[in-house]
């Protein structure tokens, strides 16, 4: 069984990371531009980047990706392009149903007791 399309998964994650409601989420499409349409500020972009990293792993570095874009490319960056970036860096990211939604407080995994002796 497969989950939603990659851009839809990215939109769900963005909505959760920013604490937005269902009406806000319903307005997002794969062509929604992070800056040109949503006007994300640096704190919102950082929260989104942390959620992406928490869900898809440390190889997904959105700040590094956007730093390599020209200004017009940054303004035009869409949810579909972010999904494409994630798929490029983590080819298996969208192969199966998505994991449970990540909340901003889950950005850093809790410490484990693995390796300790009783």
Q: Which domains does the chain have, with CATH numbers?
A: 6-95 (1.10.1200.10)
Region 38-45 average pLDDT: 95
- Whole-number percent of the chain with pLDDT over 70: 77
Region 28-50 average pLDDT: 96
Q: Could you give the count of Cα atoms lying within 13 Å of 80 in the half-sphere of its Cβ?
A: 5
Residue 96: pLDDT band (50, 70, 90) is low
């Amino acid at each position: 069984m497969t989950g939603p399309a990659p851009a839809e998964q990215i939109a769900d994650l963005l909505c959760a990371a920013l604490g937005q409601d269902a009406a806000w989420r319903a307005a997002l499409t794969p062509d929604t531009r992070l800056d040109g349409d949503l006007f994300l500020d640096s704190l919102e972009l950082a929260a989104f980047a942390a959620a992406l990293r928490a869900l898809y792993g440390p190889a997904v570095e959105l700040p590094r990706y956007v730093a390599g874009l020209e200004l017009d490319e940054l303004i035009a960056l869409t949810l579909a392009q972010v999904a494409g970036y994630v798929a490029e860096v983590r080819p298996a990211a969208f192969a199966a149903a998505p994991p449970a939604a990540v909340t901003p407080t889950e950005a850093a995994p809790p410490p484990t007791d693995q390796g300790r002796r009783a």
